[in-house]
């Protein structure tokens, strides 16, 4: 026989489960607060719909068929999940359950991101977190298309994208990543003039336009065009190229947590007018996702000790 209608009411599955547990139509009907004839009819209709027998019956005996036995754990799980649906709906409405798609630039992985993940697991354990590493330009396009819920961008102070709501989570200066064997790596006093003369490993403008422009403005203000020898997108790659001796690189101070053999990090004196960078959590304006709202508040609380 063939299954006539795959759509079966949950009530019928409850009746099946009760009969499977009692293996007696009278006792099952009593548990279900119904009389026996409607239960018998409902089970017969279920078998007709499926096109197979679920119970073997005799005047004194009811037993599950192999098909009924196979269905039993699945039906238990189905009904258990159905009972949890109101709880899940309320948790989602309160931002306690659901999904959060978070994109981030690589620099956040050195400092802020681990704390956010720990906080989310502690305070929002029912939220499924999907992490996507992406450059700022890719993040903004994904936000506009609704493919992510929030992103983490890097830019110079005052250059946050105006199209989104945002929260500043950190501000820091750029520092130098130098090959360990470079003369400037061990120099007692860094001279900005000497630094600007060195070959440079740099990121493309499209991924960090405001920081790129601020750095180029620094070079041109001192009459020294940048000598870019290699471009790379990820900060780890840039640092690895520095270790290979290709040149020096400007990186956010948080990258100093990435300890790479063959690389020395140096900060320039405050009076050197080195550009600063700002890390900002961004999301679509007017987004009413309660999970996102709770996550923003979590990040805000964790960022309070790092005023921008």
Rounded Cα distance between 295 and 165, Å, is 14
Strand ranges (E), 180-205: 199-202
What is the pTM for the complete model shown? 0.71
Decide if 97-170+277-303 and 173-275 have a common fold.
yes
Contact 282, 161 (CB under 8 A): yes
Q: What are the boundaries of each domain within the chain?
A: 10-92, 97-170+277-303, 173-275
Give 131-145 pLDDT, tens digit per residue. 999 999 999 999 999
Beta bridge partners of 99: 128
Beta bridge partners of 62: 57
Confidence band (pLDDT; 50, 70, 90) for 3? very low
Neighbours of 80 (CB within 10 A): 9
Confidence band (pLDDT; 50, 70, 90) for 8? confident
Domain 97-170+277-303: state its class: alpha beta
Contact 116, 85 (CB under 8 A): no
Q: How far is CA 257 from the centre of its chain?
A: 22
Give 40-74 pLDDT, tens digit per residue. 999 999 999 999 999 999 888 899 999 999 999 99
User: What is the reported pLDDT for 161?
Assistant: 87
In the chain, % of residues over pLDDT 70:
95
Rounded Cα distance between 26 and 20, Å, is 12
Share the mean pLDDT of the chain: 90
Rounded Cα distance between 294 and 292, Å, is 5
Fold of 173-275: D-Maltodextrin-Binding Protein; domain 2 (3.40.190)
- Selecting from 3.30.43.10, 1.10.10.10, 3.40.50.300, 3.40.50.920, what CATH number does the domain 10-92 have? 1.10.10.10
DSSP summary character for residue 254: G
Neighbours of 266 (CB within 10 A): 17
For the segment 160-178, the average pLDDT, to the nearest whole number, is 93
Strand ranges (E), 33-163: 55-57, 62-64, 97-104, 126-133, 150-155
Rounded Cα distance between 186 and 178, Å, is 10
User: What is the reported pLDDT for 284?
Assistant: 95
Confidence band (pLDDT; 50, 70, 90) for 88? confident
Q: In the predicted model, is pLDDT for residue 127 greater than 60?
A: yes
User: In sequence order, which residues have a C-beta less than 8 Å from that of residue 202 and are 6 or more positions away?
Assistant: 212, 215, 226, 228, 230, 231, 238, 249, 250
Q: How far is CA 234 from the centre of its chain?
A: 19
Contact 65, 23 (CB under 8 A): no
Q: How far is CA 58 from the centre of its chain?
A: 57
Rounded Cα distance between 206 and 177, Å, is 21
Q: Work out the end-to-end distance of the chain between its first and last CA atoms, rounded to an integer number of angstroms.
A: 70
């Amino acid at each position: 026989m063939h299954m006539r209608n795959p759509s079966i009411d949950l009530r019928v599955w409850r009746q099946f489960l009760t009969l499977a547990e009692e293996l007696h139509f009278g006792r099952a009907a009593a548990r279900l607060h119904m009389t026996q004839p409607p239960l018998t009819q409902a089970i017969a209709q279920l078998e007709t719909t499926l096109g197979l027998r679920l119970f073997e019956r005799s005047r004194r005996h009811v037993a599950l068929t192999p098909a009924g036995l196979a269905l039993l754990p699945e039906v238990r799980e189905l009904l258990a999940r159905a009972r949890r649906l109101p709880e899940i709906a309320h948790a989602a409405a309160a931002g306690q359950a659901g999904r959060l798609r978070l994109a981030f630039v690589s620099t956040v992985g050195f400092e802020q991101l681990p704390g956010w993940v720990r906080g989310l697991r502690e305070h929002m354990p029912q939220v499924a977190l999907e992490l996507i590493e992406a450059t700022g330009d890719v993040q903004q396009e994904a936000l506009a298309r609704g493919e992510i819920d929030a992103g983490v961008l890097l830019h110079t102070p005052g250059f946050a994208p105006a199209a989104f709501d945002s929260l500043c989570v950190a501000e820091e200066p750029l520092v130098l990543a130098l090959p360990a064997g470079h003369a400037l790596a061990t120099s007692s006093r860094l001279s900005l003039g000497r630094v600007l003369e060195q070959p440079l490993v740099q990121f493309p403008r499209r991924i960090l336009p405001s920081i790129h422009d601020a750095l180029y403005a620094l070079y041109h203000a001192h009459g020294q065009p940048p000598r870019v020898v290699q471009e790379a997108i990820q900060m780890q790659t840039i640092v690895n190229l520095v270790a290979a001796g290709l040149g020096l690189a400007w990186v956010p101070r948080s990258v100093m947590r990435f300890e790479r053999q063959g690389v020395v990090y140096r900060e320039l004196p405050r009076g050197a007018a080195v550009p600063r960078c700002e890390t900002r959590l961004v999301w679509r304006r007017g987004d009413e996702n309660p999970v996102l709202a709770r996550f923003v508040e979590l990040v805000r609380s964790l960022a309070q000790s790092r005023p921008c």
